[in-house]
Amino acid sequence: MTETLASPLVGVTSCLKARDEFHFHSVGEKYVDAVVAGAGAIPVLIPAIGGRLDPRQLIGRLDGLMVTGSPSNVDPSLYGGPPPREDNEADPARDATTLPLIRAALTDGVPLLCICRGLQELNVALGGTLHQHVHELPGRIDHRSDKTKSLKERYGLAHPVRLTTGGKLQAILDGVDRIEVNSLHGQGIDRLADRLTVEAMAEDGTIEAVSVRGARGFALGVQWHPEWQVLERPTSRQLFAAFGAAARARAMAREAARATMTV
């Protein structure tokens, strides 16, 4: 990728993980690769440092924000949910980082793409709630992946989702009514936040994609993982290309504003 003055900078959220006696701010390479190859942008990894980060100051320096997936779950206390089970994987430092960043991105009109846990964080950040165990709900399928299988199998296409007619996601995907997606999540949206609109739904009623009503720019969340081998699936390419175009437009606008100020 050739860097130009308008090359967009996309923030990529990290998780805080412990190993031995150390903690690491980490993000899967697939997310970094998707920003570079799919969005044509420069990824900027954001550490999970919670209140030590000024979200508005950081967002003001970015052209896009991608909120990544993670094995961890949003703390139920943040949406008034019941206490999690003992085997729940939590990341309070990430919660304290991502939720304010999401709100700041929407306030400033920074292009926003939320993936898997990111979709759930978007819903919680705007006042919605989550199901902690979707597969235990009557009529729902098991959306979790089989961790005994290879990565290729786990990230393979798992089930169809139907797109909302006339929706923002459908427009990005050339007007198709239905697509096949992978599925690697245990939690999902329960009560949809007031500002969100459903963009796609699985046949069992699980919300699979949302947009932010009244957003000043690109603002979408998906429950599946389009970042996985992003260039190999047309729908993933289209989604990241649209996100990259929005980030590039913001980068150009910021550059034009700086040029005007220096004249």
Closest CA relative to residue 245, chosen from 221, 218, 222, 220: 218
3-state secondary structure of 91: coil
State how beta strands 22-26 and 15-19 pair. Answer: antiparallel
DSSP 37: I
3-state secondary structure of 101: helix
Which residues form the catalytic set? Answer: 116, 225, 227
* Cβ contact 20:101 at 8 Å: no
How many residues are recorded in the chain? 263
Q: Is 50 left (phi over 0), alpha (psi -120 to 50) or beta?
A: left
Closest CA relative to residue 253, chosen from 113, 111, 103: 111
